[in-house]
Structure 1
Amino acid sequence: MHTTSPQLIFNNPQQFVQGWYWALPSKKLKVGKVKAVTLLGRKLAIYRGNSGQVKAVDAHCPHMGAHLAEGKVEGEGIRCFFHNWKYDERGICVDVPSLEKPLPVCIKTWSTAEKYGMIWVWVGEDSPTALPFVPELENIDCDYILGTRFSKNCHPNVLLINAIDAHHFNTVHNLPLEIVFDAQDFHSHAITFSNTTRGGDDSLLIRLIRPLYQKEVTYSMCYWYGSTGTVTLGPDFLHFYIIFALRMLEDGKTEGQTILVTPKRRGFFGWVINRLLLWLTQQVGNYFAKGDTQVFQTIQFDLKTPTKADISILQFIQHVNQQKALTWRTWENN
């Protein structure tokens, strides 16, 4: 099975899945400020209006093409620096200082949302659906911190399958566990992979921690829009949650941001406990990422000879290839 065919979305540097993609950390955009962001090859101006709401628009003014990130925020709109044309929150031109009334022009706007300390942009013409979230924490208030920002020399799809590559947990990370995943469609744009085995009976470490959990150690992945993955890991009494928010760069490379999450706990001691848990979560994520770093700087992924251990990877590839495809830079339907 070849996975680099130009007809497929998976591992394709010119196509990607319609959905939510991370743009920048919320704390990087203050009220009344605007940032230039290039997302999936398209140039945007993202600004925070006086109400605190985030707006995303195509970057260049329809008049002469000046970049709107050079301009300034006024109320909920943005004014171009070059000739002072102003566009409201809908992207409609509402003021041309050199004319008595504005011209009937507009700029393209894109839906935005904020969650887990990140600004997300909906990429696609269809109405936005659910933001990525950890299934186990749906409708639960959470604490979070932003972890490592990173880049990899491979496609986001390829980087994500590492978390469901069951065999590499033995070969790279030396975990004495058999991991078998059960795949389930979680959402029209999300798929989950959950571990269904215990194992490790020949390991002293596993025998020592076995009293801490009644069932198998929970290890599950939820993939959203082929680009964001949420990890749930741990024994019954304590789960760690890590989000890997990825976006594709030029030539099919990856820029990513880890987000560490835990359910909110009340009071001062709850705050202290959560700071410790978030720190521990980061150490868990760093441990698993460390061994794989060299692979994703040199890999040229093309799954020609799948084995039984690769069934979850094949299921993820099929899921991605069934999604709606958009084209790099234009964001037009494939």
Structure 2
Amino acid sequence: MSPNKPHSTFNNSTQFIEGWYWALPSKELKVGKVKAVTLLGRNLAIYRGISGQAIAIDAYCPHMGAHLAEGKVEGDGIRCFFHNWKYDAEGICVDIPSLEKPLSVCIKTWETAEQYGLIWVWVGKEKPDLLPFVPELEQVDCDYSLGIRFIKNCHPNVLLINAIDAHHFNTVHNLPLEIVFESQELNPNAITFSNTTKGGDNSRLINLIRPLYQNEVTYSMCYWYGSTGTVTLGPDFLHFYIVFALRMIEGGKTEGQTIIITPKRSGCLGWGINRGLLWLTQQVGNYFSKGDTQVFQTIKFDIKTPTKADRSILEFIQHVNRQKALTWETWDVVENVENSDRTYPPTSLVP
């Protein structure tokens, strides 16, 4: 059974997981401004009202279909440019200049939140779940910076599994280590993969850094909604944190934004240390990503012949296929997905 067959959610250009998706950097949306955003095939107008809250609303006015991003923010509402119909933060029409009383008209709005310098939109029908976060930093006040923004010629699911592709650390990055990942589901929408490592005794680099580690080299991933991955790596006394916020774009490709994070340190000295750590973390991320760039421009992913080293990838595929799937553009729930297609044991695919 192929894990990325057309009616599974994994690597499917017509489906995605219900969850939080990044829309745009917070700094790009000032109070009183509105932006046109296309998210997972759906057109939105996202604006910041007088209260400072980012509000996401379906893009088109129900009167004649004008795009609301052409309009004007008033208070916590938005007024359509074409005929000046006004909608409040809940999407309810509250004013039509040509009528004494507005019509009973409402536009769909979507929950938003801001974290790590990005505006996130909850895409789904159910009550919003947790925002993506780095497990080690769940209750920690952090400094962060936005790294590179990129487009890759493959699906976000395929891009994410690269970080748990144990064998490619040897073949692509020339690390003389045997890496084995252990998985744990934090909740139905989040799964972690943490490593144990063996070998490297003949490597000058590994022998140089080994005294910095009491146990195995720290390297762990946490995946949220099949679209956002957080990386934790480094020696025992200093961990580096990188978030890869991904979203699918037309044709099943990926648009991504990296986020560099470090725990906040007090005082001017702490501020200076954090600026240096954020820069250093960016260089670490660049080192590991540059070797894979060419692959993701040409890959046609289809794991037909899995090996023992691919076990973590198969576990991630299973995790994605168990989550609630929505349809590209309409954001409707995907119905009639057979349970056997979403919960097959990954070990059955490993010889």
**What TM-score do you get using the length of structure 2 for normalisation?**
0.94
| 1:277-322 alpha-carbon deviations (Å, 9 max, x no partner) | 0000000000001000000000000010000000000000000000
Q: 2:322 maps to which residue?
A: 322
SS at match of 2:146: strand
The answer for unaligned runs of 5 or more in structure 2 is 335-351
Q: Write the distance in 2 (CA, Å) between the matches of 1:97 and 1:111.
A: 28
Alignment of 1:190-269 (within 5 A): 190-269=190-269
Q: Write the distance in 2 (CA, Å) between the matches of 1:175 and 1:247.
A: 30
* Aligned Cα root-mean-square deviation (Å): 0.7
Q: 1:144 maps to which residue?
A: 144
Q: 1:183 maps to which residue?
A: 183
Q: Write the distance in 2 (CA, Å) between the matches of 1:218 and 1:134.
A: 14
Q: Write the distance in 1 (CA, Å) between the matches of 2:168 and 2:5.
A: 25
Q: Write the distance in 2 (CA, Å) between the matches of 1:62 and 1:196.
A: 56
Distance apart, 1:221 and its partner CA:
0.2
Q: Write the distance in 2 (CA, Å) between the matches of 1:197 and 1:291.
A: 21
Q: Write the distance in 2 (CA, Å) between the matches of 1:9 and 1:162.
A: 18
Q: Write the distance in 1 (CA, Å) between the matches of 2:64 and 2:123.
A: 25
Q: 2:156 maps to which residue?
A: 156
Give the partner amino acid of 1:62.
P
Q: Write the distance in 2 (CA, Å) between the matches of 1:87 and 1:229.
A: 35
The answer for unaligned runs of 5 or more in structure 1 is none
**For structure 1, which segment, 175-184 or 204-213, has the greater mean C-alpha deviation from structure 2 after superposition?**
204-213
Q: 1:61 maps to which residue?
A: 61
SS at match of 1:12: coil
Q: Write the distance in 2 (CA, Å) between the matches of 1:3 and 1:28.
A: 39
Q: Write the distance in 2 (CA, Å) between the matches of 1:187 and 1:275.
A: 33
User: Is residue 198–residue 215 contact of structure 1 (8 Å, CA) maintained in 2?
Assistant: no
Distance apart, 1:2 and its partner CA:
2.0
SS at match of 2:315: helix
Q: Write the distance in 1 (CA, Å) between the matches of 2:144 and 2:185.
A: 26
Q: Write the distance in 2 (CA, Å) between the matches of 1:177 and 1:266.
A: 37
User: Is residue 198–residue 217 contact of structure 1 (8 Å, CA) maintained in 2?
Assistant: no
Q: Write the distance in 2 (CA, Å) between the matches of 1:35 and 1:244.
A: 23
Q: Write the distance in 1 (CA, Å) between the matches of 2:310 and 2:220.
A: 16
SS at match of 2:318: helix
Q: Write the distance in 2 (CA, Å) between the matches of 1:187 and 1:201.
A: 37
Q: Write the distance in 2 (CA, Å) between the matches of 1:236 and 1:316.
A: 27
Q: 1:48 maps to which residue?
A: 48
Give the partner amino acid of 2:65.
G
User: Is residue 93–residue 105 contact of structure 1 (8 Å, CA) maintained in 2?
Assistant: yes
Give the partner amino acid of 1:73.
V
Give the partner amino acid of 1:207.
N
| 1:183-215 alpha-carbon deviations (Å, 9 max, x no partner) | 000122000000022431221221122211111
Give the partner amino acid of 1:226.
G
Q: 2:311 maps to which residue?
A: 311
User: Is residue 22–residue 247 contact of structure 1 (8 Å, CA) maintained in 2?
Assistant: yes
SS at match of 2:197: coil
Identity %: 80
SS at match of 2:271: helix
Q: Is 1:20 paired with 2:20?
A: yes
Give the partner amino acid of 1:246.
L
Q: 2:281 maps to which residue?
A: 281
Q: Write the distance in 1 (CA, Å) between the matches of 2:208 and 2:242.
A: 25
Q: 1:102 maps to which residue?
A: 102
Q: Write the distance in 2 (CA, Å) between the matches of 1:201 and 1:187.
A: 37
Q: 1:127 maps to which residue?
A: 127
Distance apart, 1:4 and its partner CA:
3.3
| 1:249-294 alpha-carbon deviations (Å, 9 max, x no partner) | 0110000000000000000000000000000000000000100000
> How many positions carry a matched residue from both structures?
334
| 1:147-178 alpha-carbon deviations (Å, 9 max, x no partner) | 00000000000000000000000000001211
Give the partner amino acid of 2:126.
D
Q: Write the distance in 2 (CA, Å) between the matches of 1:69 and 1:170.
A: 48
**What TM-score do you get using the length of structure 1 for normalisation?**
0.99
Q: Is 1:90 paired with 2:90?
A: yes
